Structure 1
Amino acid sequence: MTDRRGTTSPGRRPLGGARAARQPLERPAPLRQAVYDALAEMIINRELQPGEHLVENELAAHLGVSRQPVREALQRLHNEGWVDLRPALGAFVHVPTEEEADQLLATRTLLETESARLAAKNATPEQIERLRELQRAGEEALSEDSQVALVEANAALHAHLVEMSGNKVLAQLIGMVDRRVRWYYSPIARSRGREAWDEHAALIDVIAEGNTRRAGELMRKHTERTRESYHQRRKEADEQEALS
């Protein structure tokens, strides 16, 4: 992206041409909520990269709205930790620290381990069948090598497991971290690939058997492997950056 002097501004890239065109947002829903949701999804899917400079007028043009709801959405995203507002510099996508990622993924392990245990205890045949459908959708996304589809399929399967637990408080707590987990999972969705979906398949089998202990154990190992993969990818990226 060039400024008025014709130089390239650091941390920015033009919206035009760099991303697929979007349809203007639907207006019936509150516009500020629609803009917030759209920007949050663009951050989660890495369409907007960590550290990227967010320019109000460019985002407004990209979404087909005025600058005001974009400004409001950026403020809300800042309050929730998705965006950093820097005096005199503007808004930037937050760059997660190692500590932030580790704390969130560790919390996810605790919550989802209990979720899997309860799912095995309470599962109905219909819920098991739905799990298998979601597993097939994930394997299809894997065969298509689609990062976005893999992240969505993974989130859908885990969300159904939470629903199967029957614990509304647990579901609420997991819901609070779901979007950020998807953000961290996005860069490793491909590298986890077949291994992650094989782990899902094994987990579904023990849940179908009603084996609560084993279900919790497999979910703990599954989420810990995701945590380890995230840190490994981060380490490799840092090493590559140091060499460049």
Structure 2
Amino acid sequence: MSQPVSPLPDRGPTGRRAKGTLDPATAKRVERPAPLRQVVYDALAELIINRTLEPGQHLVEADLAEYLGVSRQPVREALQRLQSEGWVDLRPAQGAFVHMPTDEEADQLLSVRTVLEAHSARLAADRAGGEDVERLWELQKTGLEALAADDTEGLVAANAALHAFITELSGNAVLAEMIGMVDRRVRWYYTPIARPRSHDAWQEHEDLIKAIAAGDPVAAERIMNQHTERTRQAFHERPKED
């Protein structure tokens, strides 16, 4: 018999929540008046992306509805949408499960990300002004603070924010839209390697910001290319999930 998502946290000797559990004490109840089905979808997608709900985990409608403080209907609708977008697998007579990404899926997406973001960095170096560079250093500081605090969620969020701002600086709306399409999936793949990659990644970010500040598009493109390729390689070298 499948085991439901635990409504209570299992904590180890460090006092931290064990993987794959939903802690009611930290639950973020969905808010209205946004369309409920959209809010529930966003909430479940985020739980998958940050790996509170882990790849391969059984998703029980009743437990998810209780956690989010909603009825089962919007949860069912959200799971169907998540299935259509590749986040969830719906198995006949078994139920819903978080999709288990393959190495091939990750490799394809992270390779595309390298091409898009390298071009984004090149454009950003041509366009960034003094205030833009100051903002990049602020985002870098946020990431280093998360690194010092051993805060994985903070590292993932800070990494996404810095890359998103570089995309914004590119000034290319089509490029930004394309990068936005892969951003959530990149965060999903990045979460399990955020800590082992952290020291090198944030040093690479520093080098990248310096190139952008210097107005050197060739160096910015090269550094971003190397940075994203190393992230792709780190994903393949990560300890495999059970």
Q: TM-score, normalised by structure 1?
A: 0.91
Q: Deviations for 1:147-170, whole angstroms, at most 9, x for unmatched residues?
A: 100000000000000000000000
CA RMSD, 1 decimal:
1.2
1:19 to 22, 25, 28: 22
* Conservation of the 8 A alpha-carbon contact between 2:5 and 2:59: no
Q: Deviations for 1:60-86, whole angstroms, at most 9, x for unmatched residues?
A: 000000000000100010010000011
Distance 1:35 1:194 in 2: 35
* Conservation of the 8 A alpha-carbon contact between 1:203 and 1:219: yes
- Displacement of 1:27 in angstroms is 1.6
- Any residues of structure 2 matched to 1:62-73 within 5 Å, and which? 62-73=67-78
Q: Name the counterpart of 1:99.
A: 104
Distance 1:135 1:23 in 2: 27
Question: Is there any run of 5+ residues in structure 2 with no aligned partner, and where?
Answer: 10-20
Shift in CA distance, 109/23, structure 1 to aligned 2, threshold 3 Å: closer
Q: Name the counterpart of 2:51.
A: 46
Question: How high is the sequence identity, in percent, across the aligned residues?
Answer: 62
Q: Name the counterpart of 1:200.
A: 205
Distance 2:113 2:137 in 1: 22
Work out the number of aligned pairs and report it.
Answer: 229
- Displacement of 1:15 in angstroms is 3.0
Asked if residue 237 in structure 1 is aligned to residue 229 in structure 2, the reply is no
Task: Give the letter for the 2:240 counterpart.
Answer: A
2:121 to 106, 110, 116: 116
Paired residue secondary structure (1:74): helix
Distance 1:109 1:24 in 2: 36
Q: Deviations for 1:26-61, whole angstroms, at most 9, x for unmatched residues?
A: 121111111000000000000000000001011000
Distance 2:182 2:29 in 1: 29
- Any residues of structure 2 matched to 1:121-140 within 5 Å, and which? 121-140=126-145
